[in-house]
């Protein structure tokens, strides 16, 4: 396999890893995939003292930025929000001269507690997941990043040990490889509200 593809940065944020099932398995896959730099933010900054220079350098060194996190109160865990607040500085990521990370891909990888049918107008959560992620989508837009719809596992709490989780985890591996090897059909992806293991628009390589 070629190593010349895109370099992927997975920023993993999960404060309650003691109880994590789905994200723990997803993290394993990301760790093992060649070409992926895996960062456990809560391990690196347990006291929230983020090294901004280091994080900005990491962004510069990679082509694909992945936020992998469980949805907490319709948002990212606190440390990942802190990361956004500090690392995506004016003059670096946006604003005057802030073009340092423009053109890179931005991919949320999200697990939710509620099942898919909760994320509908009028249902329990009243908004589609994609709408709830509007803040980070717009953050990506403002930074000139190309936003890829979130790779999503609904009802992650009930997924432990199930076939559904296995499929999703295996799909995550294929997803990361496709991103790395530029085999993800980005335009096709744009047409989908969220990505799941069975809707990944991966271009199968012509077996040349």
Partner 1 sequence: MTGLLFQAFVYLCAAVIAVPIAKRLGLGSVLGYLIAGIVIGPALGLVGDTESIQHIAEFGVVMMLFLVGLELEPRTLWTMRNRLLGLGGLQVGLTTVLVMAGGMAFGLSWTVALAIGLVFSLSSTAIVLQTLNEKGLMKSDGGQSSFSVLLFQDIAVIPMLALIPLLALPELAHHGAETHGHGGHGAELSLIEGLSGWQVAIVNVAAIAAVIAGGHYLSRPLFRFIASAKLREIFTAAALLLVVAIAFLMTLVGLSPALGTFLAGVVLANSEFRHELESDIEPFKGLLLGLFFITVGAGINFALLSENALLVIGLTIGLMALKAAVLLALSFMFRLRGADQWLLVLSLAQAGEFGFVLLSFSVQNSVIPADLSDLLLLVVALSMLLTPALFIFFDKVVLPRLDKEQGRAADDIDEKGAAIICGIGRFGQVINRVLKGNGYKTVVLDLSADMVDGFNRFGIRTFYGDASRPDLLHSAGLEEAGLLVVAIDDMDRAVEIVKHARRERPDLHIVARARDRHYVYELYKAGADDIVRETFDSAVRAARYSLEAFGVHPHEVEKLITVFVERDRDGIRRLARLFDPDVPVFENEPYMKLAREIEKETEDALSDNPSVHDRVKRAWLPPGSKPDDE
Contact residues toward partner 1 (CB under 8 A) are: 15-19, 40, 42-44, 46-47, 113, 157
- Compute the least distance from the CB of residue 72 to partner 1, in Å: 8
Q: Which is nearer to partner 1, 23 or 177 (CB)?
A: 23
* SS3 call for 118: helix
Phi, psi angle pair for 120, to nearest 5°: -140, 150
- Compute the least distance from the CB of residue 157 to partner 1, in Å: 5
Cα–Cα distance, 91 to 88 (Å, whole number): 9
Q: Which is nearer to partner 1, 100 or 157 (CB)?
A: 157
What is the sign of the dihedral through the CA atoms of 74, 78, 80 and 84? positive
Cα–Cα distance, 178 to 172 (Å, whole number): 10
- Compute the least distance from the CB of residue 68 to partner 1, in Å: 15
Where helices occur in 98-201 by DSSP H, the ranges are 129-132, 134-142, 163-180, 186-190
- Compute the least distance from the CB of residue 14 to partner 1, in Å: 8
């Amino acid at each position: 396999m070629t190593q010349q593809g895109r370099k992927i940065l997975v920023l993993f944020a999960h404060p309650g890893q003691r109880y994590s099932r789905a994200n723990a398995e997803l993290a394993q896959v990301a760790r093992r995939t060649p070409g992926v730099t895996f960062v456990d933010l809560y391990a690196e900054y347990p006291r929230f003292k983020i090294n901004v220079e280091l994080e900005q350098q990491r962004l510069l060194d990679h082509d694909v930025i992945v936020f992998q996190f469980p949805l907490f109160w319709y948002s990212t865990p606190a440390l990942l929000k802190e990361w956004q607040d500090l690392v995506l500085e004016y003059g670096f990521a946006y604003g005057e001269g802030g073009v340092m990370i423009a053109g890179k891909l931005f991919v949320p990888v999200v697990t939710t507690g509620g099942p898919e049918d909760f994320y509908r107008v009028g249902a329990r959560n009243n908004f589609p997941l994609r709408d709830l992620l509007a803040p980070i989508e717009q953050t990506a837009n403002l930074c000139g990043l190309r936003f890829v719809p979130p790779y999503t596992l609904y009802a992650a709490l009930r997924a432990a040990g199930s076939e559904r989780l296995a499929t999703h985890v295996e799909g995550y591996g294929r997803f990361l490889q496709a991103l790395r090897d530029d085999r993800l059909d980005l335009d096709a992806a744009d047409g989908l509200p969220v990505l799941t293991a069975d809707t990944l628009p991966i271009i199968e390589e012509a077996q040349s």
